[in-house]
Every structure is written in C-alpha cells, then in structure tokens.
C-alpha cells in the first residue's frame, strides 16, 4: 500500500501565505499512514518578486517549498577548517538537527562558512547579532557574498529612546521620548517586503527582532497589487494608498508619499530608492513605469506592481472598532478594581488618560503610545505571543546566532526587564493591563520560532553546549595561516605613557591600535590626552549612533587616524586586519568587562594581522587572565603545528574597505535630497511663509518651544526676502551655544569621537 507523507495536525501552520498561496516545509514530513488518507492538492504559487523583476507563476506541490537560488560570490575557495565545517553544518541541517554549534576562532572565516551553508540549504536565513555595529559589518559581508539576492538589515530604528516609566519611591513619571532614524526605518520596511515576496532572503538583525512588529497577515492582506490593463477607478486607488499609510503631497515628493497629476499617479514606496508612475486612461491602467524621483525620467516599464504598506503597524478599519469596544470593557473592569481597593488617584489617572486615547483612536485612528494597545488592536487573546519579525519568515527558515555567548543572554533578559517596568505602570494607573502584552518574546517563545539554529562563537557558553549535547564543530585554522596573537602582561603603573610610545611605533609602520578602557569617561579622556600628544586618536562608545560607529571603524581602516579607544564595543566580530596591537587597560579588574570570555574576544581583535600583539596592563594575575592566556596559547599551538605541516607562512590579508550599510543609507539620503531639490530652489512666497507660521504655531501647541522659537526667527527672516530664491537666504544662528546633542548623558560631547555636534534648524513639515 502507498504510504502518504504529510504534516501532523499540531504542526500545521501556513507559511509564506498571500491570498491562496501556501508553502509547506518538507523538513517536518513524517509517516502518517495511520491517518485517513487525504488528497495532496497542488496549488499555484505566484511569485511576488520585487517590481524590477518579471512576475511569473510557478506550479508546485504542497509537500515542499521551492529551494531558493542563492548566487554565492566566492572570491576564494574554502580552506583551513572551513570545508569540514561547511560539510558538517549542511549535513546536520539536512538531517533535521534542531541545533548546532560552530566554535570558530577569530579570523577563521565564520561568516564565509555561514554563507556557504545558506547557499547549500537554499532556505531563508536570519543572522542574529548582539549590536548594531557588528550587524552593519555582517550586512556588508553578506551583501558581497550574495550580490544578486535580497540581503537586508533589521535593527532598532531608535537613535535615542527613553521608555515610559514611573518611579513610585519618588513619585516621578517619565514620559516616553525617542528619536527615530528614518534610514533604518526604510531598511526595516525593505526587510519585510522582501520576506513576503521571495525566498532568497538573508536578514541580518539585532535583538530588536524579538519585539512586536505588527501582524504579518494584515501586512500581506493590505498589499496593493496593480496590473497593466486592469480596470479600476482612480479615486479608489488613491483611497487604497491612504489606507496603507501613504500620504498625498502634490508638491514635495518624498519617501512614503504619492502625488497626483491628472490621470497620472506617482508613488515613492517607503522601502525603495526609486518611484513609480501609474498612467490611466479613464478607468484603465494604461502604463506602469519605474521612474527617477528627481527628474521623473522613465527607467523602464513593468506589467505588475505590488505596493507594500508604508508602516508595519497597519490594520483594517473594522479592527479598530472591535478593539475600542474591548478596551472600554477592560477600562471599566480596571476602574472597578482600583475603586474597590481605595486607589482613587490611580482610577482617576487611568480613566482620564485612557478615555483621551480612545477618543483619538476613534477619530483619527492613532494616539500617543498606541503600541500599548497593540494586543486588543491585533485581536489577540490576553497573554498571546506578539507578532515579530520571525512571523514574517516561512517555517523552514534557518537561524545563525552570531557571537551567541553574548546574543543569547540578551534575548533571555529582554522580557523580564520590560515586564518589570510595565507592571509598575499598570499598578499605578498609567496603563491598562493589556499594555503588558506589548512586549518582546519570552525566551521559550523565541526558541520555538527560530527554526533550525546554529550558534556561532569563539567562546560558546554552557547554554549552547547543552542545546547541542556538548558537540561542537571547531574552526580554528585560519585560511590565511595567521596565528592567535602573542599576549604580554605589562605593569599597570605608567600604562598610559607605555601605551603612548607603542601607539607611535605602530603609527610609524602604518598599523592601527585598539584600546579598551573600563568607562566611557576614561575612554574619552584618554583619547583627548593622545590627541594633545599629537597622536591621531578617536573614542567610540554607546553614545554614538549606529552609522557613526561604522563610519569610525571605516576611518580607522583607511588610516584617517591610528588609535581607537572604546569600552565594550571593540569586541566580538570586528574585522580590522590593519590592527596589530590591542591594549587592555586595567585587565586585572575582575568583572564583566574583564572576564575570561571578554578577554578572549578582545584579544581576538588583533588576530587578523601577522604582527599581532596584545598588552594586558595589570599588577596581578587573575583567574580570568590566566584562562584567557592559556586558551590563546592552546589555539596558537594548533595553528602553528598546522602551518609547519603544510608549509604555510602567515601573512596579513588586507581586505578592501567595503561599502556597507552606511553607504546604502548615504545613497538613499542623496536620492531623497535630489528628489526634494525642487523645493530648495523655489522663490520665497507669502504662501510659503504662512505655511511656516502654521508649523510654528503647531510646534508651540505641541510644547516644542525650541523648535517654535527657531521657526519664528526663520519666519521673520524670510518676510524680509519675499521674492528671492530660498537657497540664498542663510539660516539664522542658533541662540543656544551649548553645542549639546540634547539627548544622552553627556549632551555636550563630540560626534564621531571628535567633532562637536551641529545644531539643526528645523524645516517646516511638508504637506
């Protein structure tokens, strides 16, 4: 008798679904001959590739999703321990192993190994990193390995974020405050649009991926599909664009906007660097063109176009009405609880705040802090798992956790910290209990959503070893033959002067130096001292945003300065072959920053140079120092024996400085500046000044008094130059001379480790 293979009912989950499209993973097929036979229907899959590609239909069986075609660019063949690691990892995934560990020493080409495994498997992949700097570097590397596939960057889009909080001991309420990086927001939207449209996808993400992102089902259902020759009313199409959060602006054409000129509609998607023009003849779509936003020049015509929502949090109109009813019921229940306990202040506070938010939602569909109502708005049950980036992936995804010894604890800690803060808000009447469901994934929920997983680290922790039964795949031999650095313990007395001389020696040989200090203040002070001693030096720590950090590392590699001083960001994964010396100050101060793992990771930053050396400045030998030195010497001995056996002479490989995520962002900013250049060269009119005045009044109403004051000064200046070109009128000087960034602990410090931040005079909002 024929045996049918199907997915067990408890694992039945629709993946990659769009309308009537279903993918089913072959990896979970099992023998179910004991079940009633069911016909295995075949369905038709329509390829929703990005609009630059033609749209094709592919007939396929529900038994297996198609293998993605990854075009792996191989500048060199795998060597050293890479071939064995690639073979073992690929075989393990294909055999159905849920977890594997790759123990790879620094500089052994772990990223290249991951790229080869992804290409062998042909499945969508997520690379999880623990910070934005390393994520940006990984993005650049994977972009080089897969130039013709969808490689995307998904990290937190906040440059600055102060969460809402309440401190009961001092009766202090802290309002949420944040600054969103528009470039990263665009990259996040590009990520999800690719995930729902194709399978040859590699996403490099940070721990931000475990936070709520909106329903993938709503996101897919609200995609607007437009086809040449289709019959549709123009106004109906415009309403659909508004429904998916695009704004109409017929004057300033920007990302996330559309404009209408007669029967021609031009749309600039939030996730693209180009725009589209839809030309209609009556109610028929006559032509769809890909255009340059600045000139309107047609690049090419397409037959089909799919417009994805401008924001991740989108939902049908009827969902809001159902949510409002649920929220009113929850409010009544919580008010009754407070009143029964005599908490009248909390009851009054919750009633006033929530009723205001509900009125805003009912009237305009949005309110401040709308994310706190995300669970009722999504229609989920209390305590339900939030939708995240993982829900946009198909079920046969594969996950690589880079530097897992740091990344996994980060993921584990997110839920508890978020829960503690929000519980305080709920108990004191600032939020409804449903706000607790606006949360990151719990650790066990994250484990259930990663698919098959590979932990990648030079120092895997006990968790990774437990998940893989103690088995690891070692990758210690470097393809370049480079050895782990020589580690030398130097007295901490006079460490600054000793280091200064060593930096000068390296600078004379056109080599670079990394220095790690214990505090941000010490890093800045040491950098300033070196600059006073005519050494080209910068500092790098958490107060610089993601793009500034990457810029600093690129400038170090290109020789714009010789020494970089940091705290905890100069560790895992940084690929800096020009660095020949790593200096660790106060190495004997036992703790998180000077643990065995931290020391091994920091020592590894010098392992990409043939002249590598590490100084541990200390007055005593700690257990962590001894274990780190012993492990480094063990690996060095293995590498040296391999080199002698194969006649390999270690040699530094100087890689080209690749254009990474910061380059992509710069290109997009340039494109947007060009597209909006028309408004910059227009003449000053009375209407323009009046629009600026309205913006000033709006800023004042929103209590943005500094912005309102600067707009006031600008209005007064422009009134004196009616009729002149706008570009000829200089912006007024900012009256505040503090030079601060306005956000962060040390507001007056320098950008990118040296330059004072420049105060920006706001422009009126367009539209």
Q: Residue 279 burial (CB < 10 Å; 0-12/13-18/19+)?
A: middle
Tokens standing for 444?
Answer: 């066990």
d(CA 624, CA 489): 13
Tell me if 111 is assigned to a ligand binding site.
yes
The DSSP code sequence of 479-547 is: TT-PPPPEEEEE-STTHHHHHHHHHHHHHHTT-EEEEE-SSHHHHHHHHHHHHHTT--EEEE-TTS-HH
Q: Tokens representing 555?
A: 């400038």
CA neighbor of 63 nearest in space, from 94, 28, 110, 106: 28
Alpha carbon distance 173, 166 (integer Å)? 4
SS3 285: strand
Q: Which two tokens stand for residue 330?
A: 């929850």
Q: Do 615 and 581 touch, CB atoms closer than 8 A?
A: yes
* Three-class SS state of 3: coil
Alpha-carbon distance 270 to 31, whole Å? Answer: 46
Query: What is the CB-side half-sphere exposure of residue 703 using CA atoms within 13 A?
Result: 0
The Cα 707–Cα 698 span in angstroms is 10
Q: Is the CA virtual torsion 400, 402, 407, 409 positive or negative?
A: positive
Per-residue exposure over 301-319, b if at least 16 CB sit within 10 Å of its own CB, e if not: ebebbbbbbbebbbbeeeb
Q: Are 293 and 253 in contact (CB under 8 A)?
A: yes
Number of Cβ within 10 Å of residue 726's Cβ equals: 15
Q: Tell me whether residue 90 is annotated as binding.
A: no
Q: Are 119 and 111 within 8 A, CB to CB?
A: no
Contact, 546 vs 181, CB < 8 A?
yes
Structure tokens at 569: 């960001």
Known binding residue 28? Answer is no
Q: Other CB atoms closer than 10 Å to residue 443's CB: what's the count?
A: 18
Residue 473: φ, ψ to 5°: -105, 115
270 is in an annotated binding site: no
Backbone φ and ψ of 554, nearest 5°:
-65, -40
DSSP letter at 223 equals P
Q: How far is CA 409 from the centre of its chain?
A: 18
Query: Residue ranges of the alpha helices (H) in 647-765?
Result: 661-675, 677-680, 686-701, 705-719
Q: Which residues sit opposite 151 in a β-bridge? A: 202
E strand or H helix at 333: helix 317-340
Nearest to 598 by CA among 627, 575, 578, 620: 627
Query: Which one, of 7, 99, 40, 77, lies nearest residue 456 by Cα?
Result: 99
**In whole angstroms, what separates CA 543 from the centre of its chain?**
17
- The helix (run of H) or strand (run of E) holding residue 218 is helix 216-221
Q: Is 88 annotated as a binding residue?
A: no
In Å, how far from its chain's centre is CA 476? 30
SS3 729: coil
The Cα 39–Cα 137 span in angstroms is 48
Q: Read off the DSSP letter of residue 381.
A: P
CA–CA separation, 265 vs 149, rounded Å? 30
Residue 450 known to bind ligand: no
Q: Dig out the tokens for 75 from the structure.
A: 């500048």
Task: State yes or no: 80 annotated in a binding site.
Answer: no
105 is in an annotated binding site: yes
Q: Round to whole Å and give the CA distance between 742 and 554.
A: 26
125: burial class by Cβ within 10 Å (0-12, 13-18, 19+)? buried
Residues making up the annotated binding site for ATP are 104-111
Residues making up the annotated binding site are 104-111
């Amino acid at each position: 008798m024929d045996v049918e293979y199907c997915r067990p009912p408890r694992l039945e989950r629709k993946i990659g679904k769009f309308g009537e499209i279903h993918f089913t993973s072959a990896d979970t097929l099992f023998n179910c001959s004991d079940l009633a036979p069911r016909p295995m229907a075949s369905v038709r899959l329509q390829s929703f590739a990005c609009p630059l590609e033609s749209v094709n239909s592919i007939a396929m069986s529900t038994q297996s999703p198609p293998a993605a075609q990854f075009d792996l660019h191989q500048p060199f063949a795998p060597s050293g321990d890479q071939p064995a690691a690639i073979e073992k990892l690929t075989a393990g995934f294909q055999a159905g192993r849920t977890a594997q560990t790759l123990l790879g020493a620094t500089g052994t080409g772990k990223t290249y190994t991951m790229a080869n495994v992804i290409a062998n498997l042909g499945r969508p992949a997520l690379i999880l990193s623990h910070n934005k700097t390393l994520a940006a570097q990984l993005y650049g590397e994977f972009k080089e390995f897969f130039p013709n596939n969808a490689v995307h960057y998904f990290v937190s889009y906040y440059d600055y974020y102060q969460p809402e909080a309440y401190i009961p001991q001092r009766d202090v309420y802290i309002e949420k405050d944040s600054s969103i990086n528009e470039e990263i927001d665009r990259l996040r939207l590009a990520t999800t649009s690719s995930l729902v449209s194709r399978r040859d996808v590699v996403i490099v993400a940070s721990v931000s991926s475990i936070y709520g992102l909106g329903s993938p089902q709503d996101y897919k259902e609200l995609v607007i599909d437009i086809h040449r020759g289709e019959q549709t009313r123009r106004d109906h199409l415009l309403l659909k664009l508004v429904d998916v959060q695009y704004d109409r602006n017929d004057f300033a054409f920007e990302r996330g906007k559309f404009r209408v000129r007669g029967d021609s509609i031009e749309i600039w998607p939030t996730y693209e660097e180009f725009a589209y023009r839809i030309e209609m003849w009556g109610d028929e779509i006559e032509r769809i063109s890909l255009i340059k936003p600045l000139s309107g020049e047609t690049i090419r015509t397409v037959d089909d176009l799919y417009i994805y929502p401008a924001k991740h949090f989108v939902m049908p109109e009827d969902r809001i009405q159902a949510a409002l009813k649920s929220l009113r019921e929850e409010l009544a229940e919580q008010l009754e609880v407070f009143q029964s306990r005599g908490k009248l202040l909390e009851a009054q506070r919750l009633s006033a705040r929530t009723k205001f938010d509900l009125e805003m939602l009912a009237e305009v569909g949005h309110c401040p802090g709308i994310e706190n109502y995300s669970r009722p708005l999504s229609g989920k049950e209390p305590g339900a798992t939030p939708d995240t980036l993982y829900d946009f992936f198909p079920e046969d995804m594969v996950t690589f956790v880079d530097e897992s010894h740091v990344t996994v604890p980060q993921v584990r800690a997110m839920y508890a910290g978020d829960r503690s803060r929000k519980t305080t808000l709920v108990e004191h009447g600032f939020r409804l209990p449903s706000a607790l469901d606006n949360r990151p994934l719990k650790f066990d929920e994250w484990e259930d959503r990663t698919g098959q997983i590979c932990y990648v680290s030079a120092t895997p922790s006990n968790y990774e070893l437990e998940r893989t039964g103690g088995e690891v795949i070692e990758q210690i031999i470097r393809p370049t033959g480079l050895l782990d650095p020589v580690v030398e313990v130097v007295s901490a007395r006079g460490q600054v002067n000793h280091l200064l001389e060593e930096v000068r020696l390296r600078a004379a040989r056109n080599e670079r130096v990394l220095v790690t200090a214990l505090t941000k203040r010490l890093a800045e002070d040491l950098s300033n001292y070196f600059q006073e001693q005519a050494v080209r030096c910068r500092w790098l720590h958490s107060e610089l945003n993601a793009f500034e950090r990457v810029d600093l590392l690129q400038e170090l590699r290109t020789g714009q300065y010789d020494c970089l001083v940091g705290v905890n960001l100069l560790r895992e994964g940084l690929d800096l072959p020009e660095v020949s010396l790593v200096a660790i100050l106060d190495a004997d101060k036992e703790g998180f920053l000077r643990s065995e793992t931290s020391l091994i990771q920091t020592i590894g930053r010098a392992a990409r140079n043939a002249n590598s050396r590490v100084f541990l400045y200390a007055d005593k030998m700690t257990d962590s120092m001894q274990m780190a030195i012993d492990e480094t010497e063990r690996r060095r001995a293995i590498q040296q024996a391999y080199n002698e056996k194969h006649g390999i002479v270690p040699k530094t490989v100087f890689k080209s400085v690749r254009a990474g995520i910061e380059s992509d962002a710069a290109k997009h900013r340039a494109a947007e500046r060009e597209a909006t250049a028309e408004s910059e060269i227009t003449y000053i009119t009375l209407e323009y000044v009046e629009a600026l005045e309205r913006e000033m009044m709006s800023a004042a109403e929103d209590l943005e008094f500094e912005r309102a004051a600067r707009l006031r000064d600008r209005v007064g200046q422009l009134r004196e130059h009616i009729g002149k070109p706008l570009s000829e009128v200089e912006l007024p000087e900012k009256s505040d001379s503090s030079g601060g960034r306005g956000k962060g602990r040390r507001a007056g410090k320098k950008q990118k480790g040296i330059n004072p931040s420049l105060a920006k005079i706001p422009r009126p909002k367009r539209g």
